[in-house]
Amino acid sequence: MDKLQVKFPYDIRDVDAETNAELLEYFKGERTGFVQVGPEGYFFPHKYKAQAEHYYNFKARPDDIWISTVPRSGTTWTQEMIWLLANGLDFAQAEQRPLTDRFPFFEFPLFVHDDVKAELLAENCSADMEFIEKICRPGYETLEELPSCQRRFIKTHFPFSLMPPSVLENKCKVIYVVRNPKDVAVSYYHLNRLFRTQGYVGDFERYWRYFQKGLNPWLPYYSHVNEAKEHRKLPNVLFLKYEDMLIDLPGAVKSIGDFLDCIPNAEGLEKLLNHLNIKNFRQNKSVNMHQMAAVGILKQGEAGFVRRGGKDTDAKQHDQQEFVDNPKLLKTANDWIQQNVKYI
């Protein structure tokens, strides 16, 4: 790897001892502790402290395509759409190669604590160890090794301020998707319970308190979204709303196709829309973390990685049953949103 050229510009501080001890009690996947970064206090596990400069100094290539979101904002669904559009609707390859291979998650290894990795290696046979080692390698290493002739598709949940500066300097295409924060929180709660790397064991009301305070990876929510809105007028940035994509999927395909200069014909569009239908998508082993489940990273008995993916037939019903069941919490969430919506 080339010598680091840019000093990481933000302070990285440990979460205060009392809060850290509480979080470790409820998030069993992290074993050391958590940090907060910069003036917004972006939240990460302890590994980020040692690796921040490496991620920040990653050398983006001009033809890279990035997707950035707050977690659980329709990221996986949009990734599949982007990859297929940019690869000539190659459904055969999309079926054969997992999305995690076609569209790597830049900073996922930050969330695999060394102790959890050791447990996974001990639980699995030698045939699966290669996969575990692969997903634990930092993205700045694995992506750098891809040949220059191979276009890279990169998923990140980093806000714009923590992305490698080379992404914008090289005018890489960046697609950002935003989603209603209550839907994000409900889906993120289930993800935190599903993944052993997070290992959340508390209830939703507690989880919402952490979410609202920005005490969960890649949060605070509004800081993240606001940064994206500040960049949305750049010609190499496409800002999308997940709810709009659900209502008008053909329009979303057109927007992304125009942005990437990869517009499908009518027959291709019909096939793509059917492929992205949530009922079909949920059954697609290429996108539903089948490999992760096979090695024990996903906990049995929890909701699947691809859940409902949207709204009920009644447009007034959000993916928010946890709020419906707790009117007091729903009011707290609505008040918080109302207080913050003016800032974005």
* Sign of the torsion formed by the C-alpha atoms of 233, 238, 242 and 248: positive
Q: DSSP for 124-177, please give it.
A: S-HHHHHHHHHHHS-HHHHTTTS-TTSPPEEEE---GGGS-HHHHHTT-EEEEE
Whole-angstrom distance, CA of residue 32 vs CA of residue 197: 13
Q: Which residues of 93-114 are buried (b: 16+ CB within 10 A; e: fewer)?
A: ebeeebbbebbbbbbbbbbbbe
Alpha carbon distance 259, 55 (integer Å): 26
Q: Which amino acid is at 171?
A: K
**Choosing from 46, 157, 190, 224, which is the catalytic residue?**
157
Element (H, E) at 42: strand 42-45
Indicate if 54 belongs to the active site.
no
CA-to-CA separations, 339 to 132, 179, 336, in angstroms, rounded: 43, 17, 5
**Which DSSP state fits 196?**
T
Write the DSSP symbol of residue 109.
Answer: G
Any residues with CB less than 8 A from the CB of 71 and at least 6 apart, and which? Answer: 157, 184, 188, 191, 217, 218
Contact 279, 309 (CB under 8 A): no
Q: Mind telling me the catalytic residues?
A: 157
